[in-house]
Amino acid sequence: MLSTVVRPESVGRSMPAVRGTPAVILQPPSSTASARQRERAPRKTILSKPPVPTVESTPAERLRVEESPKGGFSYPVAPTPTLTGRVSLRAVIGIDGQVREVDVLSGNRELAAAASRAVRHWRYGRHELEGRAVEAETNITISFVGDDAVSVSFPAVH
């Protein structure tokens, strides 16, 4: 006897008949099915919610710094010279000094995109804590004051 697992989405649907092939009736495996038949049956795992991070899975504590980059510095360019405003960012600095992540804390969307692009090119010095290289984070405030004038500051990390 042929035993096949029926998926719930296929129950109640009819299959088109094909000439020359025998009809197959799909049945759920019975409780008397052998252990070997149950092992071969495909299994489907459904997660109702994505896994939630726990305290153990949070990243290691980062060193908080207030400093300007050591290299790769370039000023951001506003998409429109007359567009003005202030953008606040938080940058995560990898153990090699490269900016790994830039989060926009506040500011105009267009200016924030320009500021983020520039900050991703910046390079910082290596940061150590107890003799080990560690990631660091810093806050950056970029003020676009018009006509390609930009002010950059590094306020304290809270």
Question: pLDDT digit string (tens) for 125-147?
Answer: 999 888 899 999 999 999 999 87
Question: pLDDT digit string (tens) for 111-126?
Answer: 999 999 999 999 999 9
Q: Please provide the DSSP assignment of 18-70 as one string.
A: -TTS------PPPTT--HHHHHHS------SSPPPP-GGGSPPPPEE-----S
Which carries the bigger pLDDT value, residue 30 or residue 88?
A: 88
Average pLDDT (152-156) is 87
Which architecture characterizes domain 62-153 according to CATH?
Answer: 2-Layer Sandwich (3.30)
Distance CA(91)–CA(103), nearest Å, equals 6
Structure-token pair, residue 8: 């719930």
pTM (2 d.p.) = 0.60
Using pLDDT thresholds of 50, 70 and 90, give the confidence band for residue 110.
very high
Distance CA(132)–CA(46), nearest Å, equals 42
